[in-house]
């Protein structure tokens, strides 16, 4: 049980609290973020400050969004760190990240994310990509694998297509369970996300792109002719240059966009 108490705080499972305590890994994460004094930095889920402190040492100031009231209070009251932080106590999934833009300075977002909400949180952040310079997140390694997977891979799915639609994604650090207290049951990894330029994101409706992915991957073992039959016919797929006997996992990001844009133009 004592394993769940770290720096006098009992880890709350419902908030996905696994606190980092490995200095070498923390160093690697800070190096990947590369904080500078002029940066508009935002940390999601600072917790007990494992990454917050070394980042703030380099940047001088930092905005944090923390759901746990006790931890937010603890950071606000921290004698050295507190004055350098702007603490927002609340749910990052409901947070308006665009409200943090100042002097046209884009955000550099990072965090060791609560694994229980990582996918919806990523989708929330994708809505703000035009306000973001880069993001670094610690996630379950399986999730990072799915984010960076390409066509033909078993891990390729909706999360891969939507992540790669919004961002260039690359894994940067592998993190074993023993680097956390309490240790999670799964391996972790840090992913770097660099938002793509608006002109590279050519879907006419991201909602439709998401719907196409949901339908296609929901029944991933079916051919597109069957899995997408609610959205378009086999002939319509063929007219787009896409073989209807393929499965979702064979399609490229561009082909998913082509399907979504065809539906937007012809069926909306
Ligand atoms: N950054 C710390 C570290 O690396 O040791 C803590 C990481 S812990 C995995 C996740 C943190 O996110 C916790 O502090 C938790 O309270 C906070 N958290 C959980 N859900 C959140 C949410 N929806 N919005 C903001 N913070 C959240």
CA angle 206, 158, 150 (to 5 degrees): 110
pLDDT value of residue 3: 63
Query: Rounded distance, CA 107 to CA 163, Å?
Result: 18
| Ligand 1 within 6 A of CB of 19 | yes
| Ligand 1 within 6 A of CB of 54 | no
Tell whether residue 112 is among the known ligand binding residues: yes
Give, using CA atoms, the residue closest to atom 8 of ligand 1. 17
- 158 confidence band (pLDDT: 50, 70, 90): very high
The arithmetic mean of pLDDT across residues 5-34, rounded, is 90
pLDDT value of residue 11: 80
| Ligand 1 within 6 A of CB of 45 | yes
pLDDT value of residue 165: 98
pLDDT value of residue 14: 80
Taking the centre of ligand 1 as the mean of its atom positions, its distance from the CA of residue 118, in whole angstroms, is: 10
DSSP codes joined into one string, 127-169: TTGGGEEEEEEEEEHHHHHHHH--TTSTT-SHHHHHHHHHEEE
Q: What is the mean pLDDT of the chain?
A: 95
- Kindly give the pairing relationship between strand 5-6 and strand 9-10: antiparallel
Domains of the chain by start residue, with CATH: 5-199 (3.40.50.150), 206-267 (1.10.8.100)
Question: What element of type H or E holds 45?
Answer: none
Which pTM value belongs to this model? 0.95
Predicted confidence (pLDDT) per residue in 192-227, tens digit: 999 999 999 999 999 999 999 999 999 889 999 999
Q: Which atom of ligand 1 is nearest to the CA of 21?
A: 5
Give, using CA atoms, the residue closest to atom 17 of ligand 1. 45
Residue 56 pLDDT more than 60? Answer: yes
CA 157 to chain centre: 15
27-31, 64-68, 104-108, 252-256: least confident range: 104-108
The arithmetic mean of pLDDT across residues 11-39, rounded, is 93
Residue 112 pLDDT more than 60? Answer: yes
The arithmetic mean of pLDDT across residues 241-265, rounded, is 97
* Ligand 1 mutation pick, 18, 52, 67, max ligand atoms within 8 A of CB: 67
| Ligand 1 within 6 A of CB of 140 | no
């Amino acid at each position: 049980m004592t394993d769940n108490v770290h720096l006098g705080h009992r880890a709350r499972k419902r908030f996905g609290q696994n606190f980092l305590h490995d200095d070498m890994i923390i160093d690697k994460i800070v190096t990947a973020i590369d904080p500078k004094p002029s940066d508009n930095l935002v940390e999601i889920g600072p917790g007990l400050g494992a990454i917050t402190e070394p980042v703030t040492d380099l940047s001088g100031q930092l905005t944090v969004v923390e759901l746990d009231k006790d931890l937010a209070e603890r950071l606000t009251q921290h004698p050295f760190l507190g004055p350098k932080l702007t603490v927002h106590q609340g749910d990052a999934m409901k947070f308006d990240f665009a409200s943090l833009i100042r002097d046209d300075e884009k955000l550099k977002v990072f965090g060791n994310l609560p694994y229980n909400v990582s996918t919806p949180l990523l989708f929330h952040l994708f809505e703000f990509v035009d306000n973001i310079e880069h993001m670094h997140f610690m996630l379950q390694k399986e999730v990072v694998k799915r984010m960076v997977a390409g066509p033909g891979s078993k891990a390729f799915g909706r999360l891969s297509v939507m992540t790669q639609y919004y961002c260039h994604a690359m894994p940067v650090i592998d993190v074993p369970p023993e680097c956390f207290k309490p240790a999670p049951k799964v391996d972790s990894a840090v992913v770097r996300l660099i938002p793509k330029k608006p002109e590279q994101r050519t879907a006419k409706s991201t909602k439709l792109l998401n719907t196409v992915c949901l339908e296609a991957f929901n029944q991933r073992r079916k051919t597109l002719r069957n899995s997408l039959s609610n959205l378009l016919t086999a002939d319509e797929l063929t007219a787009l240059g896409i073989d209807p006997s393929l499965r979702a996992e064979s399609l490229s990001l561009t082909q998913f966009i082509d399907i979504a844009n065809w539906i937007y133009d012809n069926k909306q």
